[in-house]
Amino acid sequence: MSNTNENPQMNNTTEDPQINKTEGSPHMNKLVGSPLMKKIGKGPQVKKPRPLKIAVPKGALFADSVRLLTLAGLDTTGLDDPGRQLIIETEDCRFFIVRPTDVPIFASLGGVDCAICGHDSLAEQELDMVEMVDLKFGACRFIVAEPKDASNKAEDRYQRRGVMRVATKYPTITQAYYDSKGIQVEIVKLHGNIELAPFCGLADRVVDITATGETLRENNLVIVDEVLESTARFVGNTASVRTDARIRALAERLASLV
């Protein structure tokens, strides 16, 4: 995999990826990434670059991610309906379907070359990588909420106890927010259904994500402050961005689409 010398060729393939697009049989697709092919690939006469490894978040961001990658000219055959498969191979790419909160660690440690990821996960984990394009979709807000009929109760308790108790899935973002406000907090980290916390005395308030506010309303919570806004981002592993021209080219095409 002497990809350093092949950068110019990679550049060419990325400028018009459709040229390389073929309806490869599943068998052929399997062969592309096999150890055998990698060995053959080491010979100087073989110019084909290794497949670009891309992480796609499953869940809410998945459909828009696939749509955008397709519009950017990538062969996403099989990705739109992957079933239970977690790795989808196409002619130039290898797609990994990853839990949204795990995408940053995949990109940061070089498990994948690039990825689509919500800004929320990136802000929470503060890992090393290149955040290249704001893809504008998957918009949601980080908000502070409390029970509707308990307004000012949290403030009152804060005055007495000197510390606010907040339940969240995002302790880093929550801590940074309250630090900037000069409010002392005890953070209770939960893994889901944050809305429950204020109703069983686990916390005074919650910091959570909302797109429409529907879940909050249904659970009798009102928004008391905004923390930050999040959208999907195109990110790259730092080493990959600097050694593989295909990633910057893909970033440029994605930027032109949003």
Among 130, 144, 154, 203, binds other proteins (CB under 8 A): 130
Say which residues have a Cβ less than 8 Å from residue 7's Cβ, sequence separation at least 6: 243, 244, 245
**Any contact of residue 5 with other proteins (CB under 8 A)?**
yes
- The tokens describing 195, both together, are 């809305």
Cα distance from N-terminal residue to C-terminal residue, the chain: 33
Name the segment binding other proteins (CB under 8 A); options: 12-20, 72-80, 132-140, 174-182: 132-140
How big is the site for other proteins, counted in residues (CB under 8 A)? 32
Strands (E), 23-138: 52-57, 87-89, 93-98, 114-118, 130-134
Separation between Cα atoms, residue 251 and residue 22, nearest integer Å: 23
**Any contact of residue 180 with other proteins (CB under 8 A)?**
no
CB 210 within 8 A of CB 139: no
Report the candidate in 72, 110, 65 with the shortest Cα–Cα distance to residue 88.
65
Separation between Cα atoms, residue 68 and residue 80, nearest integer Å: 11
CB of 130 to other proteins, least distance (A): 4
Expressed in percent and rounded to 5, the helix, strand and coil fractions of the chain are 40, 25, 35
**Any contact of residue 133 with other proteins (CB under 8 A)?**
yes
Name the segment binding other proteins (CB under 8 A); options: 88-96, 184-192, 207-215, 239-247: 239-247
Among 60, 105, 150, 202, binds other proteins (CB under 8 A): 105
Q: Which is nearer to other proteins, 3 or 210 (CB)?
A: 3
Name the segment binding other proteins (CB under 8 A); options: 20-28, 128-136, 140-148, 163-171: 128-136
**Any contact of residue 115 with other proteins (CB under 8 A)?**
no
**Any contact of residue 12 with other proteins (CB under 8 A)?**
no
> Cα-flanking dihedrals φ and ψ of residue 151, to 5°?
-60, 140
Name the segment binding other proteins (CB under 8 A); options: 23-31, 64-72, 83-91, 107-115: 107-115
Binding site for other proteins (CB under 8 A): 1-5, 7, 105, 108-111, 119, 127-134, 233, 237-243, 245, 248, 251-252
